[in-house]
Structure 1
Amino acid sequence: MAWLFLLLSGLGEVGGVTGIKLSNGFKNARGTLLALCSGFVSFYCLSRSLQEIPISTAYAIWTGIGSIGSVLLGMLLFGESKDKRKLLFIAMIIIGAAGLKFTSGGHG
Structure 2
Amino acid sequence: MAWVSLMIAGLFEMFGVLMINKLHKDKNWQSVALMIIGFGASFLFLSYAMKQLPMGTAYAIWTGIGASGGAILGILFYDEPKDWKRIFFIGMILGAAVGLKLIS
TM-score range, shorter chain: over 0.9
Once the 2 structures are TM-superposed, how far is the Cα of residue 30 of structure 1 from its aligned partner? 2.4
Q: Residues 8-47 of structure 1: matches in 2 within 5 Å?
A: 8-24=8-24, 27-47=27-47
Query: In the TM superposition, what whole-angstrom CA distance separates every residue of 1:52-107 from its partner, at most 9, and x where no partner exists?
Result: 11011000000000011111111111110111111111111121111111222xxx
Distance in 2 (CA, whole Å) between partners of 1:25 and 1:10 is: 23
**In the alignment, which residue of structure 2 is the partner of 1:74?**
74
Distance in 2 (CA, whole Å) between partners of 1:58 and 1:82 is: 28
| One-letter identity of the residue aligned with 1:34 | L
Distance in 1 (CA, whole Å) between partners of 2:51 and 2:25 is: 34
> Partner of 2:76: helix, strand, or coil?
helix
Q: What TM-score results when the alignment is normalised by the length of structure 2? A: 0.93
**In the alignment, which residue of structure 1 is the partner of 2:85?**
85
Distance in 1 (CA, whole Å) between partners of 2:83 and 2:25 is: 27
Identify unmatched segments of 5+ residues in structure 1: none
| One-letter identity of the residue aligned with 1:86 | R
- Percentage identity across paired residues of the two chains: 42
Distance in 2 (CA, whole Å) between partners of 1:6 and 1:68 is: 15
Distance in 1 (CA, whole Å) between partners of 2:77 and 2:32 is: 17
Identify unmatched segments of 5+ residues in structure 2: none
Equivalent residue pairs, number: 104
**In the alignment, which residue of structure 1 is the partner of 2:6?**
6
Judging by fraction of residues, say which structure has more helix.
2
Once the 2 structures are TM-superposed, how far is the Cα of residue 20 of structure 1 from its aligned partner? 1.0
Distance in 1 (CA, whole Å) between partners of 2:11 and 2:38 is: 8
When the two chains are superposed, the root-mean-square deviation of aligned CA atoms in Å is: 1.4
